[in-house]
């Protein structure tokens, strides 16, 4: 049974960098059957796809965030991480890490519980 757990600060100041880590258990981030993704959801709103990292470390990002986002893999710790720079209040959201299954329509088949990150001074 795979488990994903987000960790990181719940409060970030404007203009600073948001940093989150997802610890994966029950599945290896080096497993070629999966990619690893971040999705966010502002309070009371819908889901926004942030980006994805493959088992080899290659990445794809949402163009609307691309200049500020970095997603990386740490295979030694079976983790992947998100960095979002120059944050503003509009980056306040619940951030989910998730596992994407390689194959037909690449669905997100497992999600972390989510962590609320507020951007405020």
Partner 1 sequence: DIQMTQSPSSLSASVGDRVTITCRASQSISNYLNWYQQKPGKAPKLLIYAASILQSGVPSRFSGSGSGTDFTLTISSLQPEDFASYYCQQTYGTPPYTFGQGTKLEIK
Q: Which residues bind partner 1 (CB under 8 A)?
A: 46-49, 51-52, 60-64, 96, 98, 101, 104-109, 111-114
Helix (H, G, I), strand (E, B) or coil at 90: helix
| Backbone dihedral angles phi then psi of residue 48, each to the nearest 5 degrees | -125, 125
Considering the complex, state which of residue 60 and residue 78 has its C-beta at the smaller distance from partner 1. 60
Name the residue nearer to partner 1 (CB basis): 5 or 78: 5
**Residue 30 Cβ, how far from partner 1 at the closest point, in Å?**
22
User: What CA–CA distance (Å, rounded) separates 114 from 39?
Assistant: 9
Task: Give the separation between CA 18 and CA 102, rounded to whole angstroms.
Answer: 28
Q: How far is the CB of 76 from partner 1 (least distance, A)?
A: 26
Residue 60: other Cβ atoms inside 10 A: 14
Residue number with CB closer to partner 1 (1 or 76): 1
């Amino acid at each position: 049974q795979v488990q994903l757990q987000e960790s990181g600060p719940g409060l970030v100041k404007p203009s600073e960098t948001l940093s989150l880590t997802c610890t994966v258990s029950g599945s290896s981030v080096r497993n070629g059957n999966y990619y690893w993704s971040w999705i966010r959801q502002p309070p009371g709103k819908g889901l926004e796809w942030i980006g994805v990292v493959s088992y080899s470390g290659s990445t794809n990002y949402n163009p609307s965030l691309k200049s500020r986002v970095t997603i990386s893999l740490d295979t030694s710790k079976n983790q992947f991480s998100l960095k979002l720079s120059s944050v503003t209040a509009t980056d306040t959201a619940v951030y989910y890490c998730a596992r994407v299954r390689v194959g037909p329509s690449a669905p997100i088949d497992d999600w972390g519980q989510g962590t609320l990150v507020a951007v405020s001074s």
